[in-house]
Structure 1
Amino acid sequence: MSNIRQKLDISAYLVLGPENTLGRDVGEIVKVAVECGFTCVQVRSKVASAKEMISLCRDCAKFISELGKQDRVALLVDDRLDVVLAAREEGIKVDGIHVGQSDIPVSVCRKFLGEDSIVGLSAPASRLIEYVKNTDVSDIDYFGAGPLHETQTKPDCGVDENGVVITRTFEELSELAKISPIPVVVGGGVKVRDLASLKKTGVDGFFVVSAVASAEDPQKASSELVSTWNQA
């Protein structure tokens, strides 16, 4: 198992793609966030081509490396196993993948990426509670749960079979944190004001998209989020 997989820190987790940054450079925002203490970065885009995604990974990996944090800050890709494999072929340090329950199975990700890679899985907290009770999670390094609030970044997140967005309660998240054998990170419209209550549930971290990537001042936003979580 790789050093970074063993030391995985999802306490402050940034998710972003070019559609989230108000036209600003993805790599530059990652650099600012990591400088301010973000511990994990996920490149996620529904509009970028595979070639563009690989380029984004290269830029993000470069900035993380320039900060000397390549062995502490994990760089992951959402959903695109092909992008992870292709980026690695080009010598880019991508540490793993994040998938949803309707994406490529985690067992397939583990098979192709190997034991040194990080594999994260996301789903609504209520579904994860059942999943944890009935499933072998040995191929998974962490759970992503949400949404805490409705979010325009991912409007289908938490939508039930009737098209209604079901947000997660702190009680649900506390139950998930209590029974989960692996770390849990929570997102979906998370703001600074949520962090103290979120930390009390026992989850291991928060993830944000627009709170940093779309912020007027990403550096100020990153610093406030990280310091608030750490002090909670």
Structure 2
Amino acid sequence: MTADRAAAPAVTAGRAPAGEDFGVYLVTDTELAERHGHGVLGVARAAVAAGVRIVQVRDKTASARDLLALTAAVAEAVGDRALVVVDDRLDVVLAARHAGHRVAGVHLGQSDVPAGVARAVLGPDAHVGLTANTTRHLVEVAAMPSGTVDLLGVGVVHPTSTKPDHPPALGVAGFARIAATTPVPCVGIGGVELADVGPLRDAGAAGIAVVSGICAAPDPGAAAAAFVAAWDGAGR
């Protein structure tokens, strides 16, 4: 995506415009959002209004039917202004797109369907993200046809309670080593705080993914705006 949001083309249900600046990427957490009284829709609306460019709908405990309903609601709320992607569930993405919702694509983990399968099923204009945090993962990505994956979610940067089974934390230096070895844009995720934004951008990040820093904030819009301002400021 372009760094200048005001000049950016309108978002559609497909891939982001060409470029390697994905900015601030919200990953939703239903429990955190509800615990603080905003709900996923409230958090997503506030975050996108503040300049967040991608919203990943993530709920590990929801049924396929409930996740589809949540995804459809998020897409209707913000899909005209941000890319809406679904965590893990290619079936939910396909169902949402079949129903005409503005869902850009999927973000896959290493245990989900292969990225090449998702690309083949969704087509060339969809968004396919992939979690990658080891040398083996990068070797596998390098072997894929160009364009299979749009971005890599690299982390965790710091330990985080939103992903209890996360691998060892990479830190900013570990993130930098991974970002330097792949041409695929890398987004830092996992315990990312405001103080990490500049160092991650300097380390080669094409964006930062935030969960609790926005979903658990008393004012999600203000929190998102602070991350957006930090990201934009780090790019100057």
Match of 1:220 in 2: 222
TM-fit CA distance, 1:128: 4.0
2:121, 2:108 → 1: CA distance?
A: 14
- Deviation string for 1:210-229 (max 9, x for gaps)? 11011111111111111011
Structure 1 residues 3 and 143, CA, compared in 2 at 3 Å: closer, same or farther? same
Match of 2:131 in 1: 122
Secondary structure (helix, strand or coil) at the match of 1:88 reads helix
1:198, 1:40 → 2: CA distance?
A: 18
1:80, 1:176 → 2: CA distance?
A: 26
Q: Give the conservation status (yes or no) of the 8 Å contact 2:26–2:56.
A: yes
One-letter amino acid matched to 2:67? M
Match of 1:43 in 2: 57
Secondary structure (helix, strand or coil) at the match of 1:212 reads helix
- Deviation string for 1:74-126 (max 9, x for gaps)? 10001111111111222111110000121110111112111111000002254
Structure 1 vs Structure 2: percent identity of aligned residues? Answer: 38
Secondary structure (helix, strand or coil) at the match of 1:167 reads coil
Secondary structure (helix, strand or coil) at the match of 1:57 reads helix
One-letter amino acid matched to 1:150? P
> Alignment length, in residue pairs?
219
TM-score of the superposition, structure 1-length normalised? 0.87
- Deviation string for 1:169-225 (max 9, x for gaps)? 323322322232121101101000111111110110110111101111111111111
Q: Give the conservation status (yes or no) of the 8 Å contact 1:144–1:185.
A: yes
Q: Give the conservation status (yes or no) of the 8 Å contact 2:106–2:129.
A: yes
TM-score of the superposition, structure 2-length normalised? 0.85
Structure 1 residues 171 and 129, CA, compared in 2 at 3 Å: closer, same or farther? farther
Q: Give the conservation status (yes or no) of the 8 Å contact 2:13–2:104.
A: no
Secondary structure (helix, strand or coil) at the match of 2:130 reads strand
Match of 2:15 in 1: 5
Which residue of 36, 39, 60 maps to 2:74? 60
Secondary structure (helix, strand or coil) at the match of 1:179 reads coil
Match of 1:174 in 2: 176
Q: Does 1:183 align with 2:195?
A: no
One-letter amino acid matched to 2:28? L
Query: Structure 1 unaligned runs (5+)?
Result: 159-165
TM-fit CA distance, 1:129: 4.1
1:207, 1:125 → 2: CA distance?
A: 18
Q: Give the conservation status (yes or no) of the 8 Å contact 1:148–1:187.
A: yes
Aligned pairs (5 A) from 1:101-112: 101-112=110-121
